[in-house]
Amino acid sequence: MSAQPLRYGLIGAGMMGREHIRNLGLIPGSELVAIADPSAEQVALSIAEAGRHLGQSPRGHATPEAMLAADPLDCVVIASPNDTHIAVLETVLRHRPGLGILVEKPVVTRLADCGRLEAMATGHPRPIWVAMEYRYMPPVAELRRAVSAGEIGTLRMFAIREHRFPFLEKVGDWNRFSERTGGTLVEKCCHFFDLMRLVVGSEPVRVYASGAADVNHRDERYDGRVPDILDNAFVIVDFANGCRASLDLCMFAEGSWFQEEIAATGDAAKIEVFIPGPARFWPGGAERDSEVVVSPRVPKGPVRRKVHVDEAILKAGDHHGSTYFQHLGFRAAMLENGPVDVTLADGLQAVRIGLAAEESARTGQSIRLDAFG
């Protein structure tokens, strides 16, 4: 890939913002020009991260408006808290309509903002890419390839299990309440609903979810309030083509060897991927290779293989290398007229499914997507 310079502005200097910085440091031609965040402490930490990984000293700003007015940019990465995305996007689209945009998931947190953002972004001339990193994990990419190639026959069932660590501490504790995150099934799981749509190749028609806040954050108080975010759930999604998908989420299972287990089952075979969690959460580290297992119905006998990802890419973030591969795609869209893999429409549909799942978990009723909202 060309090392042609691409000038970035980063909006949001927290944990995910610094993961983006580390991954840009692995891609020649990345120039981080400026960082905007209301926290001077977070800006300073991110500038230091840029020095270590990019050898650059981006300018710091307290607001996106100040950055957009002052700095020469080609694109922005938006990694601010979930509920700020809509306002930040509006600012970028209004003040700098020529910029490419990579915006973290979920792209919005409220149903009302889906149509609002669609209208705002109509006619935007540059790529708008929603950061659905899980598409780009190498073992998931292999599963996608095998399903698309017909290696499992006709896909009938698609299952995702994520058993992982609790939500981490964030600046201002913004991720402790659904009013700011959209709810766990939006904040965390829009990744998975996006992956379901992508692999199944159809649109959802009905969602049913059961979930609760049973273990995590029960002893925390914020202005006297107990966090309301779900920490476990089952979700079933029915698709228009007759395929069905499921999600099994548990966020108090950080002792699991594999963090994600994903299975696509067709009428000829099943393919599974097993992905370990971030090594930094295991004392002494853990094996970093993921596994892909193909199990044909005839002849019986699974075929197993490891999927290795370069250690430098793994160390750049907590998403099994996917942030790096996503940035390669975004760069190609910006500089080489490559495709936008995860469009704004994709990001908004994942939010709608997540919000429907949250509503189903709250009410105990299945939700038809054509009547939701």
Residue-wise pLDDT for 29-64, tens only, equals 999 999 999 999 999 999 999 999 999 999 999 999
Residue pLDDT, tens place only, 282-328: 665 555 789 999 999 999 999 999 999 898 998 888 888 899 999 99
- The answer on pLDDT for 1 being more than 80 is no
Task: Answer whether 107's CB lies under 8 Å from 82's CB.
Answer: no
What predicted TM-score, i.e. pTM, was given to this entire model? 0.95
Give the whole-angstrom CA distance, residue 152 versus residue 270.
6
Per DSSP, helices labelled H in the chain are 15-24, 40-54, 64-70, 85-95, 111-121, 138-148, 178-181, 184-187, 190-200, 311-315, 322-335, 344-363
Average pLDDT rounded to a whole number, residues 253-275: 95
Residue 157 pairs with which residues in a beta bridge? 244, 265
CA 12 remoteness from chain centre: 15
Q: What's the half-sphere exposure (Cβ side, CA atoms, 13 Å) at 53?
A: 24
Count CB-CB contacts under 10 A for residue 266: 21
By three-state DSSP, how is residue 316 classified? coil
Residue pLDDT, tens place only, 153-198: 999 999 999 999 999 998 889 999 999 999 999 999 999 999 999 9
Q: Which residues 6+ apart lie within 8 Å of 177 measured at CB?
A: 222, 225, 227, 228, 229
Q: Which residues of 80-111 are buried (b: 16+ CB within 10 A; e: fewer)?
A: bbbbbbbebbebbbeebeebbbbbbbbbbbbb
- The answer on pLDDT for 122 being more than 60 is yes
- Write down the number of H helices and E strands in the chain: 12, 15
Q: What percent of the chain has pLDDT over 70?
A: 98
Give the whole-angstrom CA distance, residue 202 versus residue 187.
22
